[in-house]
Amino acid sequence: MLHLSFEQTEIVKVSIMKKDIDNKLKSKNIKPTAMRELVLQVLTEQKTAISLPELEQKFEKADKATLYRTLKTFQENKLIHAIEDGSGSVKYALCQEACDCQPEDLHVHFLCTNCNQTFCLNDIPVPTINLPSSFSLESVNMVVKGICSNCKK
């Protein structure tokens, strides 16, 4: 009896998660598919940005082209953003709810030189860059390097 009710609770928990994932996809005008749900699930579980090789490893059994397409769709629909932190591979992180991936939405990234993790410093906007008048700004990639709070302990 006890065992049964435990299993039921687990099922409820999983379905709520799936509902959250689907709602998140729909809020960014992305049609939920099994692959998209899985990729978003993995991205949601990350506390720091995840690199493409790490993602490829997690989706070893899936078709690579499908994974790349999924990431491209997520990026185009402003669900995730790509980070070039100079570590050699592109990393991805979820966007904030209201993010439109415009220069005014951009935040500073922090690369820990000890654990190589990249953090989204969502509360720190990138400073305004005053470009010469004939230049127009499209994007800013600001990476601050140092030791993260986990490594400092």
Which is nearer to Zn ion, 50 or 148 (by Cβ)?
148
Please list the residues that pair with 33 across neighbouring strands: none
Q: Give every strand in the sheet of 107-112, ordered side by side.
A: 118-125, 107-112, 143-146
Q: Which residue has the tokens 């004939």?
A: 134
**CB-CB contact of 97 with 135 (8 Å):** no
- Name residues contacting Zn ion, limited to 97-136 (CB under 5 A): 99, 101, 112, 114-115, 120
Q: How far apart are CA 145 and CA 109, in angstroms?
A: 8
Q: Mask 61-100, x = binds Zn ion (CB under 5 A)?
A: -----------------x--x-----------x-x---x-
Which is nearer to Zn ion, 90 or 101 (by Cβ)?
101
Which is nearer to Zn ion, 15 or 89 (by Cβ)?
89
Is 151 one of the binding residues for Zn ion (CB under 5 A)? yes
Shortest reach from residue 112's CB to Zn ion, in Å: 3
Is 144 one of the binding residues for Zn ion (CB under 5 A)? no
Quote the DSSP letter at residue 29. T
Specify the DSSP element, H or E, that contains 125: strand 118-125
Residues that bind Zn ion (CB under 5 A): 78, 81, 93, 95, 99, 101, 112, 114-115, 120, 148, 151
